[in-house]
Amino acid sequence: MDILVKPLVTEKMTDQSERFNRYGFVVDRRASKPQIKKAVESLYNVTVETVNTMVYGGKVKSRYTKGGIITGKTSAYKKAIVTLVEGDSIDFYSNI
């Protein structure tokens, strides 16, 4: 099971990584906190202090077109905020 889907690289998460040593990831919906902790530690060779998770439900969106109203739904996802111990850091831009 691929636990980590992608890292969250936004202005808010960049600020939190600089100030509080926290990093965000979109994770598999079925993943538990110990699984997320193990995956981050093995992939990035860091020590994880805490893991906070939140599940976002999909939103119903609609738009008006010439052919009528098109409705759809965005996908639901789970987000994990990982706090690392003092001195550890993750560089998402190293392999670009």
Q: What CATH number should be reported for the domain holding residue 66?
A: 3.30.70.330
Residue 14 lies in a domain: yes
Identify the sign of the CA torsion 27, 42, 24, 33: positive
How many angstroms separate the first and last alpha carbons of the chain? 25
Residue 1 is predicted with a pLDDT of 53
Residue 32 lies in a domain: yes
User: Contact 26/6 with Cβ under 8 angstroms?
Assistant: yes
Alpha carbon distance 59, 82 (integer Å): 25
Residue 93 is predicted with a pLDDT of 78
Identify the sign of the CA torsion 76, 53, 4, 82: positive
Residue 89 lies in a domain: no
The structural domain count of the chain equals 1
Residue 96 is predicted with a pLDDT of 63
Residue 92 lies in a domain: no
The domain of 54 spans: 4-84
pLDDT less than 70: residues of the chain: 1, 95-96
Residue 80 is predicted with a pLDDT of 97
> The tokens 């010439």 sit on which residue?
66
